Amino acid sequence: MAKPNDKRRRPVKAKENAGTIPVLRIKKGASLKAIYAAALRAFTAADLQKYTEIETGIPARQVLSDLEAIDREEAQKRRRESKNGRSR
């Protein structure tokens, strides 16, 4: 049992990380229109910036050439396996 003079600590609020999703607080039974309005008000320019930044990636030609090389290797393996299976 807790003593009357005990000071209970509140849990420390988690720091906002770049990958966290903010909680949208709405009233119970709110209409869809009210929910969308609250979401629109909560959406900031910083949120938009995350989706408009141009990220450097792997060129599509390089990905395609890698996939074609893997496909050639697998096709050779399948041919070898089928030849080995026929000779028995």
**Residue 79 domain flag:** yes
pTM: 0.39
For residue 67, being part of any structural domain is answered with yes
User: Is 24 in contact with 39 (CB distance < 8 Å)?
Assistant: yes
**In degrees, to the nearest 5, what angle opens at C-alpha 31 toward C-alphas 19 and 27?**
65
pLDDT tens-digit series, residues 36-82 = 999 999 988 888 888 888 888 889 999 999 999 999 999 999 998 88
Domain count, the chain: 1
pLDDT at 67: 97
Range of the domain at 72: 32-86
Task: Give backbone dihedrals phi and psi of 63, rounded to 5 degrees, phi first.
Answer: -60, -45
- For residue 22, give the nearest of 51, 50, 45, 47 by alpha carbon: 47
Three-class secondary structure of residue 33 per DSSP: helix
**Considering the domain boundaries, does residue 46 fall inside one?**
yes
Instruction: Tell whether 39 is covered by a domain.
Output: yes
71 falls within a domain: yes
- Grade residue 12 by pLDDT with cuts at 50, 70 and 90: low
Q: What is the pLDDT of residue 55?
A: 80
With a cut of 70, say whether residue 5 has pLDDT above it: no
